Amino acid sequence: MMRPVAASALAMLLALSCAAPIQFSNSIDPLALLAKDRLAYARVSGAVARELAPEIMSAADLASAKNLLARTKIVALGLGQVGDDGTDSLQAVLVGDYPFRAAFFSLSANRAWKREKSSFYNSRLGLRAAVPGPSLVVASKGPIDGLLEAAASCQASGAPPSPIPSRLSGLASAELVLWVPNPFKSLAEKYSGEGMDVPALGLLIAASPEADKGGGYVASVDFLMDSPESVKIYKPLLKLTWFAIASGFFADAEGTIPHADFVAKGELYSAEGVALSRSAIVRALKSSFGSSLGGLGPDRPLTPGESGHELR
């Protein structure tokens, strides 16, 4: 049975829940909703997210997010650095088939989530979440208004550009995509405190599961430079950079570093058919996003007797 709710509070909830839901088109890249100042972006298919989640999330977080993930088709993540203390800030956009009204009342009935102007806030998790439409969930460990405004803008005037350049859209169609813009500036500043003046526009790693590789993935790795001349000049540095990234993020459980044969393709320095083990993919995601992924589901699973509405 649903707990009694004061008439005035119930009236407020009904009024707020009647806001016109945002209809999010499946043709829009959900990465386009994320802030443009993120250090790294990831887009993962729902199937891959469900497969890898048990190895990335804690048991408690996984239990609370299970029903949400079951309805999810795409997960888009953006990791940024906020303030001088270097605190990581996660933004998330999930696209799927969600019970819009029921989700609203479930969050409203859960005392761990406090209603704010445009979202719900969980102080223990430091997380804001909103379900602005039947196909969209947004969450942030910082301000959330930008995500909601971007979602509304998509409906009103079309999607903003994806952080991944359009020239890479074909390469970025894999089930798991990692994009690091300006890697020599952003990553060097994050891990060494000082950026490097290298004309690299971004690093794209696009991977898909391979059934015949025992749960492994096959990937393409592409450095996008500002010109073909830059590719020629910086080839040795790009090879060394991939070796460092592969050693730190993509080595498998035995420490084996994935081999990559790079070739110059105009503004791209590319390697195809790079074999990545499942454990390497998990390690890379945990290293990049894992510390921020806690709490993407409700704080705890809601029981039917508690709220009358489960997200399932």
- How high is the pLDDT of residue 248? 85
The one-letter amino acid code at 196 reads M
Select the more confidently predicted residue: 220 or 212.
220
pLDDT tens track for 157-195: 777 889 999 999 999 999 999 999 998 887 666 666 666
Of 207, 210, 204, 215, nearest to 269 by C-alpha is 204
Residue 270 clears pLDDT 90, i.e. is over it: yes
DSSP H helical segments within the chain, as ranges?
7-17, 46-56, 59-70, 100-109, 145-157, 183-192, 228-245, 278-289, 304-307
Contact 244, 196 (CB under 8 A): no
pLDDT tier, 99 (very low <50, low <70, confident <90, very high otherwise)? confident
Q: The pTM is what? A: 0.82
What is the rounded CA–CA span in Å between residue 13 and residue 6? 11
Average pLDDT taken over every residue of the chain: 80
- How high is the pLDDT of residue 57? 84
Residue 10 clears pLDDT 70, i.e. is over it: no
The mean pLDDT value for 299-310 works out to 36
Select the more confidently predicted residue: 76 or 12.
76
| Edge-to-edge strands, sheet with 114-115 | 114-115, 120-122, 127-133, 136-140, 87-96, 72-82, 40-45, 176-181, 200-209, 217-225, 268-276, 262-265
Tell me the C-alpha to C-alpha distance, in Å, between residue 294 and each of 55, 121, 132, 299. Answer: 13, 14, 21, 9
pLDDT tens track for 27-43: 789 999 999 888 899 99
What is the rounded CA–CA span in Å between residue 263 and residue 234? 12
What is the rounded CA–CA span in Å between residue 295 and residue 139? 10
